[in-house]
Structure 1
Amino acid sequence: MDDAYVVSPEWTEAHLEDPSVRLVDVRDAWEFDAIGHVPGAVNVPFDSYRDEDSDEPGTLPGATAFADLLEAAGIEPDDTIVVYDDMHGVFAARFVLTARVYGHEDVRLLDGDFSAWNRERETTSDEREFEPSSYDPEPLSAEESPLIDLEGVEAALERDAIFVDTRERDEYEEARLPGAVRFDWREVVDDETRRLKPEAELEELLAEHGITPDREIILYCNTARRISHTYVVLRALGYENIGFYEGSLTEWIAADGALESGSE
């Protein structure tokens, strides 16, 4: 699995004293303070980088607003960012996607979440102070970005793309994009370890749903949170032709897009 997208707790623990490796905890501030956190982590709560009033697609906060968050956290453009939450990585993966769209090249998801880390490794309630940085974002171009808009989705429906719905069964059966296959984002997580399943098992699981590296893949859910996790996992497995539908089903329904319903 490509550690440019997902890194192990072992790797992270070995780099806790590396000043160029910055840990970002995206849980609520009270969790960060009261429950504890990974040593050296800085808190950037999930709500701070989700802006439903933004002019950006979906709920992306905008490049300048996101850069302000990184500046306040003392993160430099060349830093390696490792992100975690306590929800199997789904909120952390959203940070990874956002940072990459806005041009931060080295940002990775911690394999496992805070609870997985806390079982075997040191945590702290002490908060390290960081000097604010100067961060000039360089968002990816439309050609470089994985984001796909409404018109792009309409065009992909006419091609041999596979649409992947990462929501729960009842949501999928109520309404979905035409021809979409359901792949619950949590299927890639081992319930016992709270970490990702072994790579070979993940590849077999994805293949059973027709999600293979040779296909054009379009991911969607309701508001693009859950597909962030699936996107990061697919990239870590070497998948490249992935469209990330930021507007997801919320935008599609608002635009009166065609829908299917019923059982799988």
Structure 2
Amino acid sequence: MNERVVAPAWLDDNEGVRIVDVRDEWEYDGIGHIPGAINIPFDEFRAEEHASETGSGEGMLPGEGVFADLFGEAGISREDHVLAYDDHHGVFAARALVTALLYGHPPERLHLLDGDFSAWQLQREVSSEPPTVEPTEYEIRRPEDTPLVDAETVAEALDDENTVIVDTREEWEYEEGHIPGAVRLDWRELVDDDTRGLKPVEEMEAILDERGIVPEKRVLLYCNTARRISHTYVVLRYLGYPNVGFYEGSLTEWEADGRPIETS
């Protein structure tokens, strides 16, 4: 277990954390935000085009320059601990964190708030004042070892008994078409609707074990455009899964390449 997912009280004991609110600007300004949080709306760190159209091989990652400008303008450096949150059980915030990870921000300095803004607002103070920010020159350092996998890696794993391919979408999406042999795990199954955060560890582990998604296997994640797998990736790494692959192109790229689809 590690501090990839942290409770609100964690902020009480850790000063100097850069808090990133990925909600829309009108929510950040109009509804309020966690005190000290800087706003980087979700749409700002998503590419407008997909890898199948651009040929970039990087799905909907925004590009190094765009991401460096976003974090730099928010006053974030590579040395900073970053905590992200949204108001959708953490799925958009997780995407921001995985994007930072893929561009080389140290993983031990990336944290997802357990719960979201609605849960925070019920128990804690909120603010309508944006913090004073001193811009930085954010430095991109691509890691040598990355969880990114491409379509060919997924294809080669279809018959690998030591790998489980996981579809994190809803049941109806899975039934309409999925990568052959993929196990369905809707990302929301690991979320508690009452607390808006993660379910208890033992409960999550039981759900995963039932699907054959176990730490002993390599886990390859996909959805449609890599948003939902971001949350599942953060959770699995939080639970100590050592070998989790992130198929950024996801089913959008897989289908565009004319690869096989299985229906239920």
TM-score when normalising by structure 2: 0.94
**Counterpart-to-counterpart distance in 2, 1:153 and 1:164:** 11
Following superposition, the deviation at residue 56 of structure 1 comes to 5.4
Following superposition, the deviation at residue 158 of structure 1 comes to 3.3
- Within the candidate set 41, 44, 48, 1:52 is matched to 48
- Within the candidate set 172, 178, 181, 1:179 is matched to 181
**Residue 118 of structure 1 corresponds to which residue in structure 2?**
121
**Counterpart-to-counterpart distance in 2, 1:199 and 1:114:** 21
Mean alpha-carbon deviation: is it higher for 157-166 or for 230-239? 157-166
- Show CA shifts across 1:68-95 (max 9, x none): 1010000111000000000000000001
Amino acid at match of 1:200: E
**Residue 9 of structure 1 corresponds to which residue in structure 2?**
8
Following superposition, the deviation at residue 201 of structure 1 comes to 1.1
- Within the candidate set 15, 24, 27, 1:28 is matched to 24
Amino acid at match of 2:97: V
**Counterpart-to-counterpart distance in 2, 1:108 and 1:123:** 20
- Show CA shifts across 1:8-59 (max 9, x none): 11102443xx22x100000000000000000000000000000133635110
CA contact (8 A) 1:63 1:139 kept: no
5 Å matches for 1:142-157?
144-157=145-158
**Residue 88 of structure 2 corresponds to which residue in structure 1?**
87
**Residue 110 of structure 2 corresponds to which residue in structure 1?**
107
User: Does residue 250 of the first structure (1) align with residue 249 of the second (2)?
Assistant: no
Q: Secondary structure at the match of 1:258?
A: coil
Gaps of at least 5 residues in structure 1 are none
CA contact (8 A) 1:177 1:259 kept: yes
**Counterpart-to-counterpart distance in 1, 2:12 and 2:199:** 20
Moved over 3 A (4+): 53-56
Following superposition, the deviation at residue 99 of structure 1 comes to 0.4
**Counterpart-to-counterpart distance in 1, 2:24 and 2:57:** 24
**Residue 224 of structure 2 corresponds to which residue in structure 1?**
222
**Counterpart-to-counterpart distance in 1, 2:11 and 2:120:** 10
Amino acid at match of 2:30: A
What is the number of equivalent residue pairs in this alignment?
256
**Counterpart-to-counterpart distance in 2, 1:127 and 1:220:** 35
Q: Secondary structure at the match of 1:148?
A: coil
**Residue 169 of structure 2 corresponds to which residue in structure 1?**
167
Amino acid at match of 1:41: A
CA contact (8 A) 2:57 2:249 kept: no
Q: Secondary structure at the match of 1:68?
A: helix
**Counterpart-to-counterpart distance in 1, 2:156 and 2:143:** 22
Amino acid at match of 1:158: D
**Counterpart-to-counterpart distance in 1, 2:155 and 2:168:** 19
Query: Identical aligned pairs, as a percentage?
Result: 55
Amino acid at match of 1:42: I
CA contact (8 A) 1:91 1:225 kept: yes
Following superposition, the deviation at residue 178 of structure 1 comes to 0.5
**Residue 195 of structure 1 corresponds to which residue in structure 2?**
197
TM-score when normalising by structure 1: 0.94
CA contact (8 A) 2:77 2:139 kept: no
Mean alpha-carbon deviation: is it higher for 5-14 or for 202-211? 5-14
**Residue 41 of structure 1 corresponds to which residue in structure 2?**
37
